[in-house]
Structure 1
Amino acid sequence: MTKHTALIVDDEPDIRDLLEITLSRMGINTLTAKDVGSAKALLKEHEPQLCLTDMNLPDGNGIELVQWIQQHVPATPVAVITAYGNMETAIESLKAGAFDFVSKPLELARLRELVNSALKLSETVPDAEASDDEPGLLLGKSSEIKRLRNQVRKLARSQAPVFISGESGSGKELVARMIHLQGPRREGPFIAVNCGAIPSELMESEFFGHKKGSFTGATENKDGLFRSADGGTLFLDEVADLPLAMQVKLLRAIQEKAVRPVGDTKEAAVDIRVLSATHKDLPALVQAGHFRQDLFYRINVIELAVPALRDRPDDIALLSSHILERIAREYECDPASLTSEAINRLKGYDFPGNVRELENILERAFTLCDADLIGEDDLHMGNAPITPDNHSAGEAAGNGAGSAPVPEGEMDLEGYLETIERTAIEKALEATRWNKTAAAKRLGISFRALRYRLKKLGME
């Protein structure tokens, strides 16, 4: 088995010796340089799997070396050694293309984690280069989506926090997942959390965990999202919805790489990469005082913009085909395809809800059309397309049990309509001795639409 090689760049002999000893104990060969010039000379002769460089060097700085490596030997991950507490320098190095950073005084456990991640990263390089714009989960042939895939591949090689901006429904979580899957943490967990969906009183417990008995209802120990993501990636979706009090605690957890569960006196170290996203204008929220500036700079080391669907209409046909195939598999039906008129209708639409809205339109069209070819009229696209759930519930209410009593006072409309739909389907199936084809005809819907409803309502 070929041994890995690391280049150590530091003008302090004691630091070089410490790093050499640590890496050699990990079975890694080392090359050493005391300045930028000699480091560049060694990089021209060798192809190390990792470079560790100090920030301050006699003939330049670590940022300059990071930039040179990015240009001349981009396959070599480089990590920067920064002064304790100098977060500005660390962020500057990440923006320049550094894989990660470690602060003085060096914590050997943290250093070993960094080295192991870098070596995993160097092992993925041949596959990444051979992929030739492999789309993965980010489908499309437009220049916008190709540029996005290229940026994702580059960012996957870093440990820098990435802020993913984009409209609602544009695929921000998908982008975060691809960054995780193409990076050295791909074997670790990917934990996605919608920050706006957690009640403020439970937020600290959800993020950092709690000890049994720490508050009413804490009947057992809980790890929390940070510790659940240990060794992997934590994706904070709709991060703009975090209350200010929680933003302070989140900033500290990210900077210290440690969390303290509710009710505990000890901190627990966590090794995670943080990705975040929102459809809101985060800089404007910072200006208005609704989002902390220090947290914004910490999570927004690198910003990645996801294009809206209306900006890449040439991808709609490919996306639609993929979505229809997935729906057919999910409902165990024959696949359907779009007519050229239907594709042109979709291309001419603005899609305020982006890819999520396209999925809704196609799912509804798939379940309601009788043939395997979806025409323009089957799309039922007005100014504001209805979601499949609302459409099917309303239609079932019309076909099935209009005489059902409407509850007094406040009501759960979705639950009420679902009950009507379920009752209508049960009656139709009973009347036809559970013949689904006959039941669908009795209900005035296609067989495929009935299959969809049975699956949606858990009536299979």
Structure 2
Amino acid sequence: MKPIWIVDDDQSIRFVLEKALLREDLPTRSFTSAREVLQALEGESDAQGPQVLVSDIRMPGGSGLDLLSKVKERHPGLPVIIMTAYSDLDSAVSAFQGGAFEYLPKPFDLPKAIELIRRAVEESLREQVAEERMAAAPEMLGQAPAMQDVFRAIGRLSQSNVTVMITGESGSGKELVARALHRHSPRAGGPFVAINTAAIPKDLLESELFGHERGAFTGAQTMRRGRFEQAEGGTLFLDEIGDMPFDLQTRLLRVLSDGHFYRVGGHNAVKANVRVIAATHQDLEQRVKDGVFREDLFHRLNVIRLRLPALRERREDIPMLARHFLQQSAKQLGVEPKRISDSALARLASFAFPGNVRQLENVCHWLTVMAPAQLIEPKDLPPEVLGAPAQPAAAPDGAAAAPSAPDLHAGALPQQVGGGGASPLPAHAATAMGLPASWESALEAEAQALLSSGRHDVWEELSRRFESRLILTALHNTRGRRIEAAQKLGIGRNTITRKIQELGLEG
């Protein structure tokens, strides 16, 4: 791990923090002034720089706030803790506005100071993991199984020119998938041309698609190439294909069938060397039954179908996407990226997001502008999120929700933590022994027994037991490493630490 950099002109403060951090196996490097730190940063690579910076606020040759400002310009993700006297609390406010992780009032309680630095280290490590994940998936983000299926499909289609139909709700990212298909295809060197067939008036759509000859209609002063010609040698993305007028569907079918088309008012066939990717949020089978979409065109387009999941079907991706969009918005606006608390992420993950990824992106842009502090809390979320009831995690259509914790497989009893690796009982064996066939059934039976006993703390009792078993199982899986256990459970490092204390799991 990279060292904790300590900046203070008081040698006794540096000495105390150095010794305390070394006892915690946390490496340190000390400086006496802001100027020394800036010089060191100039000569260090990101891999050699600090994990966390702890700086006094008042020092000769430059204040901690000035240092904070300059460090954040170069290393926006670096947690900075500002040490300040009680009389400097106004400065502490300035520190937060400048992007400080936290402030440490002097004189400080040493154990609390070390705990604060540990929190900053955990935050730094978590941000590094998030940045690595973003760097590994720059085009599209998603760890959910449904999105992994989409990525695999893009990979399989990477060397193909086959026509693809992308289905999914509005705002789910259909154009991103189309662009990814193009970038990873043999046509990547050619143009990618997109057109939303629902956004162009019917009278203009034919000319937009196929172009027109001079004098073809009033106002056609010159010959104009349409989107098919503009996409020559590349990919044409037809978004919202379900809204295409019926008569234009016939012309599109002809292009897909024989590879030729005519400009409006033209008499010479133009050859089309174009791969077509279509997308729609509508049920095309139903539109075929309703007589508003040609069945032969449907089959011509529906060679390969990719279904893009709604955001509510992949809630586990919301934290990653939110952090990505906050970074993106900050870059666009030229401001410091804001951090978001675990509780705010949990509230976002419980929102239904009818507008899907596009709506989440808009929410993050709103938060970048409107959230009052650098750390976004639940109260800072926009009204449409705070005013909506929390939604349970939804499984994709026709699929059961997958259990998130190890050893809680459907059709098996929970495996005991530290139980020597005994295998869970299969469903038929559990039934033969008169036991519930799944952990949900076991939970239901236990709840029924407690309720029948007349107890009035059933919720608290079962919640404590469930959380305890889940956390202990995760810690067993990670050999006691709390940060890794929290990441696997999908909760924050502060949450798991608080829960361990509340549930009495320490020791």
TM-score (norm 1): 0.54
CA displacement, residues 408-437 of structure 1 (integer Å, 9 cap, x when unaligned): xxxxxxxxxxxxxxxxxxxxxxxxxxxxxx
Gaps of 5+ in 1: 1-132, 387-460
1:362-377 equivalences under 5 Å are 362-377=364-379
Aligned partner of residue 366 in structure 2, secondary structure: helix
Partner AA of 1:206 in structure 2: E
1:56-455 equivalences under 5 Å are 135-382=137-384
| Residue of structure 2 in register with 1:4 after alignment | none
Q: CA shift at 1:143, angstroms?
A: 1.6
What is the distance in 2 between the residues matched to 1:321 and 1:381?
Answer: 20
What is the distance in 2 between the residues matched to 1:261 and 1:135?
Answer: 40
What is the distance in 1 between the residues matched to 2:272 and 2:136?
Answer: 32
| Residue of structure 2 in register with 1:393 after alignment | none
What is the distance in 2 between the residues matched to 1:183 and 1:155?
Answer: 7
Rate the CA distance shift 1:137–1:291 in 2: closer, same or farther, 3 A.
same
Partner AA of 2:376 in structure 1: I
Rate the CA distance shift 1:368–1:309 in 2: closer, same or farther, 3 A.
same
What is the distance in 2 between the residues matched to 1:227 and 1:156?
Answer: 23
What is the distance in 1 between the residues matched to 2:258 and 2:200?
Answer: 23
What is the distance in 2 between the residues matched to 1:329 and 1:280?
Answer: 35
Matched-pair contact (CA < 8 Å) for 2:216–2:264:
yes
- The alignment's C-alpha RMSD in Å is 1.9
Q: CA shift at 1:136, angstroms?
A: 3.9
What is the distance in 1 between the residues matched to 2:211 and 2:143?
Answer: 43
What is the distance in 1 between the residues matched to 2:274 and 2:360?
Answer: 33
What is the distance in 2 between the residues matched to 1:385 and 1:294?
Answer: 46
Partner AA of 1:326 in structure 2: Q
Rate the CA distance shift 1:235–1:330 in 2: closer, same or farther, 3 A.
same
CA displacement, residues 206-237 of structure 1 (integer Å, 9 cap, x when unaligned): 11001112111111111101000010000000
Q: CA shift at 1:292, angstroms?
A: 0.2
What is the distance in 1 between the residues matched to 2:319 and 2:275?
Answer: 35
Partner AA of 1:172 in structure 2: K
Partner AA of 1:278 in structure 2: T
Matched-pair contact (CA < 8 Å) for 2:372–2:380:
no
Rate the CA distance shift 1:228–1:385 in 2: closer, same or farther, 3 A.
farther
Q: CA shift at 1:257, angstroms?
A: 1.0
Aligned partner of residue 291 in structure 1, secondary structure: coil
Partner AA of 2:262 in structure 1: R
What is the distance in 2 between the residues matched to 1:385 and 1:357?
Answer: 15
Aligned partner of residue 236 in structure 2, secondary structure: strand
Aligned partner of residue 304 in structure 1, secondary structure: strand
Q: How many residues align?
A: 255
What is the distance in 1 between the residues matched to 2:239 and 2:384?
Answer: 30
Matched-pair contact (CA < 8 Å) for 1:167–1:308:
yes
CA displacement, residues 421-455 of structure 1 (integer Å, 9 cap, x when unaligned): xxxxxxxxxxxxxxxxxxxxxxxxxxxxxxxxxxx
| Residue of structure 2 in register with 1:69 after alignment | none
Q: CA shift at 1:381, angstroms?
A: 3.7
Q: CA shift at 1:176, angstroms?
A: 0.5
Identity %: 43
Q: CA shift at 1:286, angstroms?
A: 0.6
Q: CA shift at 1:385, angstroms?
A: 8.1
Q: CA shift at 1:185, angstroms?
A: 0.6
Partner AA of 1:292 in structure 2: R
Rate the CA distance shift 1:176–1:385 in 2: closer, same or farther, 3 A.
farther
Of residues 361-370 and 237-246 in structure 1, the stretch that sits farther from structure 2 once superposed is 361-370
Partner AA of 2:284 in structure 1: L
Larger radius of gyration: 2
Matched-pair contact (CA < 8 Å) for 1:366–1:374:
no
| Residue of structure 1 in register with 2:472 after alignment | none
Partner AA of 1:361 in structure 2: V
What is the distance in 1 between the residues matched to 2:320 and 2:335?
Answer: 20
Matched-pair contact (CA < 8 Å) for 2:348–2:385:
no
What is the distance in 2 between the residues matched to 1:372 and 1:220?
Answer: 55
CA displacement, residues 35-90 of structure 1 (integer Å, 9 cap, x when unaligned): xxxxxxxxxxxxxxxxxxxxxxxxxxxxxxxxxxxxxxxxxxxxxxxxxxxxxxxx
Partner AA of 2:233 in structure 1: G
Matched-pair contact (CA < 8 Å) for 1:362–1:379:
no
| Residue of structure 2 in register with 1:10 after alignment | none
What is the distance in 1 between the residues matched to 2:370 and 2:357?
Answer: 20
Q: CA shift at 1:370, angstroms?
A: 2.2
Partner AA of 1:262 in structure 2: V
Aligned partner of residue 159 in structure 1, secondary structure: coil
Segments ≥4 residues shifted beyond 4 Å: 383-386
Matched-pair contact (CA < 8 Å) for 2:161–2:186:
no
Partner AA of 2:266 in structure 1: D
